[in-house]
């Protein structure tokens, strides 16, 4: 069977390299190269971009990214069993794929990619949220990446793009939408993966804005949002009382209603409150 890049089909790659999926590493592989190329296209034009991929596994998405013309891909994979399969891809695309056998949580990825940079990944479920939060909370803005195109469990994807007023709205929505745009670009059924996970998945596409939508100190906003949603069923004045002794006055000054709950507060409201909390 011919493939988009002349390399063997992924089923053969997995069989010949003995890559049985390991649950502990969140291994659910995409074997359809048309699908991985489609995911790569969600990230937009990659021809002038260095791409960070976390968890390439047998390389389905890596091959999609390279076939779609990515200038360079740096792929960080924890499972050393995948390295020979990834080396074959690197040989087919000379000078365009660098594979690091490492834990993505420990890698200083920024230094290894030249700007502009994009992140595209079918993330391992156990570190996906942690990585997303790190990417969304760099020391300064704009961040080192232009966009993040990431596969998540559908439920996590919905939390990232959620609007105020519902259960899905929380810290992830505020972090993702304060300084970036976030949308669900495509949904995937469990059967798209080998082995199929229990739940549906979705690809989220996040693009960094040049500047935050509303002024606020990132660290203060983070504290406010964390406290507000840690006790999301409580009224704001109770959930946030640890932040300032005169929290009710500060809520009023920010234009918020102290008896509202966190999920009713739009991002603009959290930013206004962060500015009030930051005052002496």
Q: Give me the residues that bind ligand SAM (CB under 6 A), please.
A: 25-30, 54-57, 60-61, 76-79, 103-105, 122, 124, 127
The residues, any chain, with a CB within 8 Å of residue 97's CB and separated by 6 or more, are 62, 66, 72, 73, 75, 86, 89, 90
Which residue, 90 or 216, is less far from ligand SAM as judged by CB? 90
Which residue, 62 or 177, is less far from ligand SAM as judged by CB? 62
State in angstroms the smallest separation of the CB of 128 from ligand SAM. Answer: 9
State in angstroms the smallest separation of the CB of 188 from ligand SAM. Answer: 10
Nearest Cα to Cα of residue 152 among 216, 203, 207: 203
- CA-CA distance, 49 to 113, in Å (whole number)? 9
Nearest Cα to Cα of residue 221 among 156, 273, 262, 145: 273
Which residue, 23 or 226, is less far from ligand SAM as judged by CB? 23
The residues, any chain, with a CB within 8 Å of residue 140's CB and separated by 6 or more, are none
Which residue, 106 or 233, is less far from ligand SAM as judged by CB? 106
State in angstroms the smallest separation of the CB of 221 from ligand SAM. Answer: 27
- CA-CA distance, 109 to 246, in Å (whole number)? 42
Nearest Cα to Cα of residue 188 among 151, 149, 150: 151
Report the residue number whose CB is nearest to ligand SAM. Answer: 55
State in angstroms the smallest separation of the CB of 99 from ligand SAM. Answer: 11
Which residue, 55 or 269, is less far from ligand SAM as judged by CB? 55
State in angstroms the smallest separation of the CB of 60 from ligand SAM. Answer: 4
């Amino acid at each position: 069977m011919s493939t988009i890049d002349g390399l063997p089909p992924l089923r053969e790659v997995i069989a010949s390299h003995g890559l049985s999926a390991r649950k502990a590493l969140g291994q659910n592989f995409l074997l359809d190269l048309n699908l991985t190329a489609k995911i790569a296209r969600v990230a937009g034009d990659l021809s002038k971009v260095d791409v960070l991929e976390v968890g390439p596994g047998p390389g389905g998405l890596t091959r999609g990214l390279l076939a779609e013309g990515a200038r360079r891909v740096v792929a960080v994979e924890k499972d050393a069993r995948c390295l020979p399969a990834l080396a074959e891809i690197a040989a087919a695309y000379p000078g365009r794929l660098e594979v690091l056998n490492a834990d993505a949580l420990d890698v200083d990825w920024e230094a290894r990619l030249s700007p502009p940079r994009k992140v595209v990944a079918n993330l391992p479920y156990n570190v996906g949220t942690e990585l997303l939060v790190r990417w969304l909370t760099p020391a300064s803005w704009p961040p080192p990446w232009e966009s993040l195109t990431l596969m998540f469990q559908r439920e996590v994807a919905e939390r990232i793009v959620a609007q105020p007023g519902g259960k899905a709205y929380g810290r992830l929505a505020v972090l993702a939408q304060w300084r970036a745009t976030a949308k669900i670009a495509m949904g995937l059924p469990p059967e798209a993966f080998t082995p199929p996970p229990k739940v549906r998945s979705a690809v989220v596409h996040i693009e960094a804005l040049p500047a935050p939508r509303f002024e606020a100190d990132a660290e203060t906003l983070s504290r406010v949002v964390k406290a507000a949603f840690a006790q999301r069923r409580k009224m704001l004045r109770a959930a946030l009382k640890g932040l300032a002794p005169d929290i009710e006055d500060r809520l009023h000054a920010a234009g918020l209603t102290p008896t509202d709950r966190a999920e009713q507060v739009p991002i603009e409201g959290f930013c206004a409150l962060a500015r009030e909390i930051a005052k002496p």
